[in-house]
Amino acid sequence: MIRIYNTLSKKKEDFIPLEEGKVRMYVCGPTVYNFIHIGNARPMIVFDTVRRYLEHKGYEVNFVSNFTDVDDKIIKKANEEGVSAEEISQRYIAECKKDMEGMNIKPATTHPLATQEIDGMIDMISELIDKGDAYAVNGTVYFRTRQFKDYGKLSHKNLDDLQAGNRSLLVSGEDEKEDPLDFVLWKPKKEGEPYWKSPWGDGRPGWHIECSVMSKKYLGEQIDIHGGGEDLIFPHHENEIAQSESCSGKEFARYWMHNAFLNIDNRKMSKSLGNFFTVREISEKYDLQVLRFFMLNAHYRSPLNFSAELMESSKNALERIQTAVNNLKFLAEHASVQEMTPEEAAKAEEAGKYEKAFDDSMDDDFNTADAIAAIFDLVKFANTTADEKSSKAYADTLREKIQGLCDIMGLITEKKEELLDADIEKLIEERQAARKAKNFARADEIRAELLEKGIILEDTREGVKWKRA
Is the model's pLDDT at 307 over the cut of 80? yes
Shared domain for 96 and 185, answered yes or no, is yes
pLDDT at 86: 96
Q: What is the pLDDT of residue 462?
A: 81
Task: Let me know: does 398 contact 382? Beta carbons within 8 Å.
Answer: yes
Q: E strand or H helix at 243, and its extent?
A: helix 238-248
CB 185 within 8 A of CB 210: no
Judge whether residue 12 has pLDDT over 50. Answer: yes
Residue 275, pLDDT score: 85
- Model pLDDT for residues 229-254, shown as the tens digit of each residue: 999 999 999 999 999 999 999 999 99
pLDDT exceeds 60 at position 178 = yes
Let me know whether 285 and 255 are in one domain: no
Q: Of all helices (H) and strands (E), which one includes residue 75?
A: helix 72-81
Residue-wise DSSP of 183-241 = EEEEEE--TTS--B--TT-SEEE-HHHHHHHHHHHHH-S-EEEEEEEGGGIIIIIHHHH
User: Where are the alpha helices (H) located in 297-341, listed in sequence order?
Assistant: 308-333
Asked if pLDDT for residue 101 goes beyond 90, the answer is yes
What confidence category does residue 165 fall into, taking pLDDT thresholds of 50, 70 and 90? low
Judgement on whether residues 41 and 155 belong to the same structural domain of the protein:
yes
Asked if residue 408 lies in contact with residue 106, where contact means CB atoms within 8 angstroms, the answer is no
Q: Name the residue with higher pLDDT: 319 or 463.
A: 319
| Burial class, 369, CB count within 10 angstroms (exposed 0-12 / middle 13-18 / buried 19+) | middle
Q: How confident is the model at residue 209 (pLDDT cuts 50, 70, 90)?
A: very high
Q: How far is the C-alpha of 16 from the C-alpha of 4, rounded, in Å?
A: 10
Provide long-range contacts, Cβ within 8 A and 24+ apart, for 337-346: 337/390, 337/391, 337/392, 338/391, 338/392, 338/393, 339/391, 339/393, 340/391, 340/393, 340/394, 340/397, 341/391, 341/394, 344/390, 344/391, 344/393, 344/394
Task: Give the pLDDT band of residue 166 (cuts 50, 70, 90).
Answer: low
Q: Please state the rounded mean pLDDT for residues 141-170.
A: 84
In a domain, 370, yes or no: yes
Residue 267 falls inside a structural domain? no
Q: Judge if 425 and 385 occupy the same domain.
A: no
Are 160 and 244 in a shared domain? yes
Residue 415 lies in a domain: no
Distance from the Cα of residue 253 to its chain's centroid: 19
Residue 227 pLDDT: 98
Q: Which of 378, 408, 438 marks a domain boundary?
A: 408
For the chain, how many structural domains are there in total?
A: 3
Is the pLDDT confidence value at 83 over 90?
yes
Residue 189 within any structural domain of the chain? yes
* 169 belongs to a structural domain: yes
C-alpha distances (whole Å) from 50 to each of 2, 39, 369, 427 are 11, 18, 13, 40
Say which amino acid occupies 362: M
When pLDDT is averaged across residues 140-147 and rounded to a whole number, the result is: 97
pLDDT for 169 = 47
303 shares a domain with 387: yes
Is residue 164 a part of any domain in this protein?
yes
Residue 249 amino acid letter: G
pLDDT at 440 over 90: no
Q: Which residues pair with 113 in a beta bridge?
A: 67
Predicted local distance difference test score (pLDDT) of residue 448: 86
Cβ atoms of 456 and 447 within 8 Å: the answer is: no
Residue type (1 letter), 302: S
Residues comprising the chain, all counted: 469
H-helix or E-strand spanning residue 345 = helix 342-363
Note whether 412 and 344 are within 8 A (CB).
no
What pLDDT is attached to residue 192? Answer: 87
Share of the chain above pLDDT 90, in %: 81
Q: Are 374 and 354 in contact (CB under 8 A)?
A: yes
Question: Could you tell me if 404 and 425 lie in one domain?
Answer: no
Is the pLDDT assigned to residue 174 strictly greater than 60?
no
Do 182 and 328 belong together in one domain? no
Whether 97 is in a domain gets the answer yes
Instruction: Quickly count: other Cβ atoms within 10 Å of residue 14's Cβ.
Output: 8
pLDDT confidence of 418, banded at 50, 70, 90? low
Are 303 and 162 members of one domain? no
- pLDDT over 80 at 167, yes or no: no
Residue 118 belongs to some domain of the structure:
yes
Q: Chain-wide mean pLDDT for the chain?
A: 94
- If one compares 154 and 162, the residue with the highest pLDDT of the two is 154
- 194 and 301 in one domain? no
Query: What confidence score (pLDDT) does residue 117 get?
Result: 97
pLDDT the model gives residue 453:
80
**Judgement on whether residues 182 and 298 belong to the same structural domain of the protein:** no
Cα dihedral 325/328/332/334 (nearest 10)? 110
Strands (E), 59-148: 60-65, 134-137, 140-143
Position 82 scores a pLDDT of: 95
For 199, residues 6+ apart whose C-beta sits below 8 A from its C-beta are 122, 126
442 and 398 in a common domain: no
Q: How far is CA 197 from CA 10, 299, 376, in A?
A: 41, 45, 57
Q: What is the pLDDT of residue 465?
A: 85
What CATH number did the domain enclosing 160 receive?
A: 3.40.50.620
Write out the residue range of the structural domain in which residue 450 sits.
421-468
- C-alpha closest to that of 12 among 223, 255, 225: 255
Q: Is the dihedral of CA 267, 268, 269, 272 positive or negative?
A: negative
Please report the pLDDT score of residue 242 as a whole number.
98
- pTM score of the predicted model: 0.89
Q: Determine contact, residues 87/78, Cβ cutoff 8 Å.
A: yes
The burial class, CB within 10 Å (0-12 / 13-18 / 19+), for 374 is buried
Cβ proximity of 114 and 66 under 8 Å: yes
Tens of pLDDT, residue by residue over 369-398, are 999 999 999 999 999 999 999 999 999 999
